[in-house]
Chains A and B, each alone.
Chain A
Amino acid sequence: MDMALEVAVAAIKIFIVVNVVQLVVAYMIYVERKVIAHAQLRLGPMRVGWHGLLQPIADGLKLFFKEDIIPDKADRVVFVLAPVMVLVPALVVYAVLPFSATFYITQINIGLFFVLAISSLGVFGVVMAGWASNSKYSLLGALRSAAQMLSYEIFLGFSVIGPLMLAGSLNLQEIVHAQRDVWFVFYQPLAFIVFFVAALAETNRVPFDLPEAETELVAGFHTEYSGMKFAFFFLAEYASMMVISTIGIVLFFGGWEGPDFIPLPGFVWYCLKLGAFMFVFIWLRATLPRYRYDQLMRVGWKFMFPLVMLNIFLTGFLKYLFL
């Protein structure tokens, strides 16, 4: 009986989270379009609803009803499987994300590890998509993407070690609790910088959007996709942006906790922080050009990697001395 209840509650929570995430993602795209539009002296979507507020829904419908094209020469099974392989890991990760003190799907003591492990599976989908499309542009995009995601996975993994050492736990809730007094971003600025850059690269955002560099590779690994399959890639990209932002918030900005003198519910704090993160992502996109592939790798291995190693060493050393 308890078991059944637990499953039912979990199912409801999953249902809510998955749907809310999809809606939020749709509106994130809307916000991105609006913010970039205003940075570029445009208005952005204005027609569908008040200031284009219904645009995401219209876009969703459009994508839903679009013809689903599978290229002749494509490897059909892999081609169909690839978008799923990208989207599912991006959504599964939400299982352990703490949205507030009380609202989360589950809590496991290797939460952070779980997030890193599952989210890195997304790269398989990308490579599969590039391969299965049987197009040179897609293949180049997928290769770039794989190399980029794998390398930056490493820096991302190392950059979270600092906060972990301070918190002494992999459980996301406990990491948040450990920041009750001071956010880790003040103890771990280096780790945060590396984390943020790696997060940009990991989610293929400007200035690291090489895999889908429109002007070079047309659209990279998803060139050949259309309709809902294309939408899956889109959803996955934004969903992983949210995941990575949430991890950033949890590790460095105290999760759902806010300063005590502003009494706001935890979930609101979370949303505010998420919004701020997202805004920076979008802001960068409106401002910066794109790195070149070899430069991206150089930034990673020659700059980020030593930096993050130094950070781990310093953290350990200082922790040994003072704590």
Chain B
Amino acid sequence: MPDEVEENSEQTNDAPDADEPAEAVKTPPGEDLKEVVESAFPGAVLEQSAYQDDEDEATFVVGLDSIVDVSTHLRDHGDTLFKLLTDLTAVHYPEAENPFEVLYQLYSIEHNRRLRLKVRIKEGQAMPTVSSVWSSADWMEREIYDLFGIEFEGHPDLRRILLPDNWGSHPMRKDYPLEGRGERIYTKPKRKEIGD
């Protein structure tokens, strides 16, 4: 990988008005990645999409049960090596059947590729934690728990992270009102050391 970067540095183009390298992607983005996943877990990829067929936006929708296996496989397989969990977040669609989408934004330094995994879950459904796959998931899962109220089963230390421990609700949900204070069920903090 470092060698590849070195090459790039030498062939940088000095002309400012040079054409952008033309993209010639015919197969849907992420097809090869899908094959990697499907070879180990047939039928694990429920949906496949990419915004404007952009290679970087390749997105797989994965089932709740298979997310940990798929993640581990994608991290360890030689053709993918998604060792970096760039981002882990959630989106709330109150109208949908499965209102919460948890997103795993993966990046492979070796192959310079991105992949997004999605899991759609119901209200109150708990996610399996991926903090055993990527340690970086630890804090990000805590953040989702804090802001969306999604629980992560098996998480080593699931506490609120940004908001106070006794904050009553989950502000990144779409039904959280923008004004007023009635929605906050706020109890007077008990004196307690977090280190305890």
A/B: CB atoms within 8 Å of each other: no
Q: What residues of chain B have their CB less than 8 Å away from a CB belonging to chain A? A: none
Q: What residues of chain A have their CB less than 8 Å away from a CB belonging to chain B? A: none
